Amino acid sequence: MPRVSFTKFFAEQSAHSRVKADIVYKFVLAWSAVVLNKRFNRIGEAAYVDLFSGPGSYDDGARSTPILITQQVLQRPQLRSGLRMFFNDKERSLTESLKQEISLLPSIEELHHAPQYTSEPASIQLIESFALSQDVPQFYFLDQFGWAEITPCLVRRIFLARKCDCAFFFRTPRVVAAVTNPSSEQTMRSLFGDGGLESLRKSFQQRPKEKEKIVLDCLRTKMKEAGAPYFQPFQFRVSGVNSSRQHLIYLGKHPKGLEIMKDIMAVSSTTHYNGVPVMGFTDGPLQPGLFAPDLIPELQEQLLRIFAGRTLTVGRLFEEHHVTSELYILRNYQEALRRLEVSSRVLASPVATDRQQRNGAVTMSQDVKITFPIRPEA
């Protein structure tokens, strides 16, 4: 695999790099506020670990993810006292640059835990050296140049923590090409396993136009086997390079983390159709016909089928179902249920006339109870 020049990479921050940094730093802040809540965290600590941290900023002055996060941590007492930060990059010059920039941030001395800096290849041994208790909530960001560093073994070690989330950048087209490249044989077997790789190659022959989806499906399975039950991709379509797709992948252990990430990805999405986010970013025009104009009816039918004969709150319904979908967020469920209620396909309590209106629409709060009809036997 040809080596990427980090000097060129960090010369100017691309549009998709800005979006990626924005998603990760917003998630870290929201996630930290949740896991450091005293009701859920008696230890009073959480950890943010960046195994490929890069320098403090790009040559064009854009701030990198570690700088964005550290600046916000300094402004929030709860995070300032409880969040431990670990920054690593195997390129020592990048680590030193980051360390220098962070040391110059105003009030940096007020951090209860000084950031730790290392310059090592990403590995299980490196993670072990941080000596983090499994009881400490942990978030790992893996924004590597290639793809050889992300393996199920590494993810399995990360997810030994009882409360753990992770995000990594997946250069999907390069992996698709590597699946059938003899020179990448060992790396692909490390990523997908012997059986997984053979299955991928067979699927490529049977469904040649769906290679990216096949790879993501296989990756989802391998990550679940490694201890990460929740998998949420965010697609980047880069114009000018054959519309290649790359993905920011979120892995999580708890539905709340998945909910937070989906909400952030939804806001960062280039396009929404009737409120349903595409969960992706493009720096060029979308091709027509890639997405249906209205995805709410599909959600309605799913809910009628899955929850047939049950009565449950909107909040409970959302918790149970959204973990199975990579598109829908809470407001999509509320809209689907409003439409079902209007068409008398479900019963809501309180009924619509007893609920408030907001922006011309009847509210559908998470406390509203929904009764689904029993479906007739097929």
Q: Is the same domain home to 206 and 321? A: no
The residue with greater pLDDT, 371 or 274, is 371
CATH of the domain at 92: 3.40.50.150
pLDDT exceeds 90 at position 202? yes
For residues 74 and 184, membership in a common domain is answered with: yes
Q: Are residues 120 and 228 in the same domain?
A: yes
Average pLDDT of the segment spanning 239-257: 81
How far is the C-alpha of 271 from the C-alpha of 293, rounded, in Å?
11
In a domain, 378, yes or no: no
Q: How far is it, in rounded angstroms, from Cα 299 to Cα 279?
A: 16
Hey, how many other C-beta atoms are within 10 angstroms of the C-beta on 16?
17
H/E stretch holding 170: strand 164-170
Percent of the chain with pLDDT over 70: 91
Residue 232: which of 211, 207, 263, 203 has the closest Cα?
A: 263
Q: Which domain holds residue 350?
A: 296-371
Question: Are 227 and 347 found together in one domain?
Answer: no
Structure tokens at 41: 């965290």
End of a domain among 282, 308, 323? Answer: 282
Answer yes or no: do 313 and 357 share one domain: yes
Tell me what pLDDT residue 36 has.
94
| Burial class, 15, CB count within 10 angstroms (exposed 0-12 / middle 13-18 / buried 19+) | middle
Same domain? For 300 and 272 the reply is no
* DSSP assignment string, 208-276: GGGHHHHHHHHHHHHHHHTT--EEEEEEEEETTSTTEEEEEEEEESSHHHHHHHHHHHHHH-S-EETTE
* pTM of the predicted structure, to 2 decimals: 0.90
Tell me whether residue 289 is in a domain.
no
Residue 370 pLDDT greater than 60, yes or no: yes
My answer on whether 41 and 153 are in the same domain is: yes
Q: Mind listing the pLDDT tens digit for each residue in 128-174?
A: 999 999 999 999 999 886 666 788 999 999 999 999 999 999 988 88
93 has pLDDT over 50 = yes
- The dihedrals phi and psi of 102, each to the nearest 5 degrees, come to -65, -35
Tell how far CA 309 is from the center of its chain: 33
How many alpha carbons lie under 13 Å from residue 263 in its C-beta half-sphere?
12
CA distance 97 to 59: 12
Share of the chain above pLDDT 90, in %: 76
Residue 288 lies in a domain: no
pLDDT above 90 (res 308)? yes
Number of domains in the chain: 2
Helix (H) or strand (E) holding 166: strand 164-170
pLDDT of 9 reads: 41
Say if residue 342 is in the same domain as residue 248: no
- 1 occurs within a structural domain: no
Mean pLDDT (whole number) for 231-249: 78
CB 280 within 8 A of CB 236: yes
Which range (59-68, 83-92, 104-113, 212-221) has the least confidence?
59-68
**Using 50, 70 and 90 to split pLDDT, how confident is the model at 56?**
confident
Query: How far apart (Å, rounded) are the C-alpha atoms in residues 237 and 311?
Result: 41
Residue 287 has pLDDT above 60, yes or no: no
Q: Are residues 126 and 254 in the same domain?
A: yes
| Nearest partner of 368 among 345, 348, 342, judged by Cα | 348
